[in-house]
Amino acid sequence: MRAEDPPVMAAHYAELGWAKTVALFERYLAEQSAGDRPVLVAEADEIFAGHVTVLWRSSYEPFVEAGIPEISDLNVVPGFRRRGIATALMDEAERIVGERSDVAGIGVGLYADYGPAQRMYVQRGYLPDGRGVVYDWSPVTPGASIPIDDDAVLMMTRRLR
């Protein structure tokens, strides 16, 4: 991510009605500068097409305890999907994670919008971490009711080597 990217990224996502603000990407840029979060930005035909980040310290406690970096916030603008961009972003994110860890972690949402990501992660070898669904980074207890929104995820891992 470069210093000029946050407003460009936010503008593309705003056109889609997604809540990804300039402030969010400025925070990502600051975290990247501090060495806490590499941010990979994809372009196609010289137009912003998507991004992904790597969190060296996840918000998910089991990943923190095991020292597992988390690939986070993978997004590809709909007009650029099915062109290999998500695959390229994941390849590079996993390469970066592999410089520090044998295992990569990732979380995936539970509703239909996440279907392509769910399939891609399984095809890449990610498996559920065995702790069940989490909501806002906390385990969901049996019988609990939670909203099925972006905070309801299944955490997964993949051995990189």
pLDDT above 90 covers a percentage of the chain that reads 96
pLDDT at 111: 96
Q: Residue ranges of the domains in the chain?
A: 5-159
- Give pTM, 2 decimals: 0.95
* DSSP secondary structure string for all residues of the chain: --TTHHHHHHHHHHHTT----HHHHHHHHHHHHTTS--EEEEEETTEEEEEEEEESS-SSHHHHHHT--EEEEEEE-GGGTTSSHHHHHHHHHHHHHHTT-SEEEEEEESSGGGHHHHHHHHHTT-EEEEEEEEETTEEPPTT-----STTEEEEEEEE--
Q: Could you tell me which CATH number the domain at 5-159 has?
A: 3.40.630.30
Tens-place pLDDT, residues 60-106: 999 999 999 999 999 999 999 999 999 999 999 999 999 999 999 99
